[in-house]
Amino acid sequence: MTDNHISRPALRVSQPLGQFFVFTLDADTLNKITFSQPAEIRKRFEQEYAEKDRGYSFFGSQRLESKSRLKEIAKFIESTDATFPNSIILAANYDQEGVLIPNDSQECWKYSEANGHYNLEIPLNYRSASIIDGQHRLHAFDQLSDDSPRRNMELLCVVFLELPSPYHAYIFATINFNQKKVDRSLAYELFGFNPDLKTSQFWPPETLAVYLARVLNTDPKSPLRRCIGLAAEADELFKSEMEHDSDNEKTNVEVRVSMAAVVDGILSLICKKPKEDRYLMRSVENAEMGRSALLPIDDLPLRVFYLSNNDKAIYDILNNYWAAVQSTIWSKSQANSYLLKTVGIQAQFDVLKILLKKLPITLVNYSEKNLQEILSGATILAQTGTTYQASGIGRGKIKEDLLQAIAEKLEQAIQVNPQR
């Protein structure tokens, strides 16, 4: 343990949704490094709907019962029979605004492995893990006196690293849907997960980003098909989309990228503050406006397509870009190249964002053929892809080298069509 981090031995568990780590940590420390989105959202909705009595069953009567419930749990904690054998479920590395925390940040949870044994490196000075389930159990410890030795009780914990915010609701609802006070659909809606609850006009940016990532992972024509983790997501969550695909081979065997990186990359093209956009769309005065409740942002060129509900245009640009990357960079890269891993995909998203700002968005400019021509200069980097590192510095270096490699071709393309 240092002043900034604590190391905890952990078990890694792999399941269809993805992998998570099981560990223990004392309640007092856990309360200092976590935050609770359900509590924050509940407070907001209580304020908005106080006079309307809309009966949102996701929160049930927790507002009236929460204080007494916390006190009851606190009494149990102080008893001689106190035990909590079920786990507190956390999601780390997304901040309270729903933004992915860079992996070289002091706020980032990390893991290491040696000889089959895992250790978690947990930051102590930041609230960088959201409580998915178990907030009442955990927060009850704050009801104890400051000098109570029970504040140091070890708690069983599960943590998902880099699980996109909308999936927090998926897990919460999956755990609790049998309880009458929890409405699965509403839980999905509040966290921006459920694309089936309303028409796409009402999808906040997070929902669209998750949806597009899912399509990229399952579309037989997608260059990212079955390359995006959560681990077996395509087989389990989106099975129906793959039943019509007779080709069981993966498009890119070597390419591996986290779901968080893809969702974050898509979000970066249409949104700056995901949670703020979601709140604006879900406020009482904007409830029937959908995406039109939001404003354009000049340096987010694809946001205009999002606001106009033209999701196909966004997907076509993404698909054409990654197809061009596949043919110019990935196909020439070694299997262990960082250009094929999460840090490389993040850098390539950064390059796409710059392209969208510099090169006017037209069908010709963002055709697969034209993007291949622009990216053709980057083929040379495929031979040096193993020299980078999996960090923020590595991401920045890949981005810098890619931009330098395509600079001449990009300038030529801009001169052909300089006006947006």
d(CA 199, CA 20): 32
pLDDT at 198: 63
User: What is the number of other CB atoms lying within 10 angstroms of the CB of residue 239?
Assistant: 11
pLDDT, one tens digit per residue, over 264-284 is: 999 999 999 888 888 788 777
Q: Give the global pTM.
A: 0.71
**CA separation for the pair 7, 111 (Å, rounded):** 9
Placement of tokens 């404003």 in the chain: 295
Q: What is the pLDDT of residue 136?
A: 86
Q: Which helix (H) or strand (E) holds 156?
A: strand 154-161
Q: Ranked by mean pLDDT, which of 171-175, 184-188, 192-196, 351-355 comes out on top? A: 351-355
Instruction: Return the domain boundaries, the chain.
Output: 5-188, 195-416
Is residue 154 classed as helix, strand or coil in its secondary structure?
A: strand
Look at residue 108 and tell me whether its pLDDT is greater than 60. Answer: yes
Instruction: Mark out the alpha helices in 105-258 (DSSP H runs).
Output: 135-139, 165-176, 184-190, 205-218, 233-236, 239-242
Q: Check pLDDT > 80 for residue 319.
A: yes
How far apart are the C-alpha atoms of 191 and 407, rounded to whole Å?
A: 40
Q: What pLDDT is attached to residue 151?
A: 95
Buried b (16+ CB within 10 A) or exposed e, 361-378: eeeebbbbebbbbbbbbb
233 pLDDT above the threshold of 60 = no
Whether residue 246 has pLDDT greater than 90: no
Query: 311: burial class by Cβ within 10 Å (0-12, 13-18, 19+)?
Result: middle
Q: Is the pLDDT of residue 98 over 80?
A: no
Q: For residue 279, give the H/E element and its range.
A: helix 274-282
Question: Three-state SS for 199?
Answer: coil
Minimum mean pLDDT range among 70-79, 167-176, 333-342, 361-370: 167-176
pLDDT at 386 over 60: yes
What would the pLDDT profile of 16-67 be if each residue is shown by its tens digit? 777 899 999 999 999 999 988 654 555 544 444 443 443 332 332 223 336 7
Please tell me the distance from the alpha carbon of residue 315 to that of residue 295, in angstroms, as a whole number.
Answer: 21
Rg of the Cα atoms in the chain: 23
- CB 196 within 8 Å of CB 186: no
